[in-house]
Amino acid sequence: MFDNTVQAMRQGRFQSLDFGSTENMVKYNQTVPPPYGLDTVGVPVTVYWGGQDWLAPPRDIGRILVELSRNRSSQIRDVYLSDYNHLDFVWGLDAAPRIYNDIITFFRRNQ
């Protein structure tokens, strides 16, 4: 997972893991990894993102939201937390009332 994140950051693409051209041919039948088809997502999605996140900056989140919204049947909701960074989503002392409770409600509503 970490390798894929680093590759995405370096290459500026949200894509499958890059194993190198030889192994990519075996796994993907092409020399480069295919992009994730975010425009084919047909289930409700909520994207939580933070204004202080150094691993997922606003421009990257914006690109993901644009890709997701290309599927007109998708229900996309984004929740921006201006004071949150990447670790706050797991370690934030106020994560339960600001995020986790909403996630539980979302899953119950969309099961």
Residues 52 and 21 in one domain: no
**Residue-range definition of the domain harbouring residue 7:** 1-36
Mean pLDDT of the 78-88 span? 96
Residues 77 and 104 in one domain: yes
Residues 27 and 49 in one domain: no
DSSP string, the chain: -HHHHHHHHHHT--BS----HHHHHHHHSSSSPPBP-GGG--S-EEEEEETT-SSS-HHHHHHHHHHHHTSTT--EEEEEETT--TTHHHH-TTHIIIIIHHHHHHHHHT-
The tens digit of pLDDT for each residue in 5-47 reads 555 656 667 788 889 999 999 999 999 999 888 888 888 999 9
Residues 54 and 106 in one domain: yes
> In whole numbers, what is the pLDDT of the chain averaged over residues?
87
Residues 47 and 6 in one domain: no
The pLDDT assigned to 1 comes to: 47
The number of distinct structural domains making up the chain is 2
pTM over 0.75: yes
Residues 8 and 58 in one domain: no
